[in-house]
Amino acid sequence: MKQETSSTITIPRKTFLRLNGYREPMPVNEIMMFSSSICGDASYYVCPKCKVTLEWEFMDFCDRCGQKLDWKGCKKAKIIYPGTQNAPAKNLK
């Protein structure tokens, strides 16, 4: 009996990324809080690797750098605020 098999090989995207490294999930543990007088407050989780804000919650991988994300600790994420480096610090005379 002859069994024919298709030789099509498809590599799932996750496997592809895994082969490229980034296989260890990094915990998402920061959340960026934006305050807006128009829309109110908005918060976005931050990629632990490249520090960009993530467009969607609970994505498997970072859009930008492909880092695998671990959302287990996201409820305890530390709130950070944008622009802390160039915050208006001292009053100029």
Q: Binding residues for Zn ion, per CB under 5 A?
A: 47, 49-50, 62, 64-65, 67
Question: Which residue number, 26 or 43, has a Cβ lying nearer to Zn ion?
Answer: 26
The bridge status of strand 26-27 relative to strand 78-80 is unpaired
**From the CB of 74, what's the least distance to Zn ion, in Å?**
15
The encoded tokens of residue 59 equal 């994505």
Question: Which residue number, 18 or 64, has a Cβ lying nearer to Zn ion?
Answer: 64
Question: Which residue number, 28 or 62, has a Cβ lying nearer to Zn ion?
Answer: 62
Longest dimension (CA), the chain: 92
**From the CB of 16, what's the least distance to Zn ion, in Å?**
17
Residue 8: partners with Cβ closer than 8 Å, 6 or more residues away: none
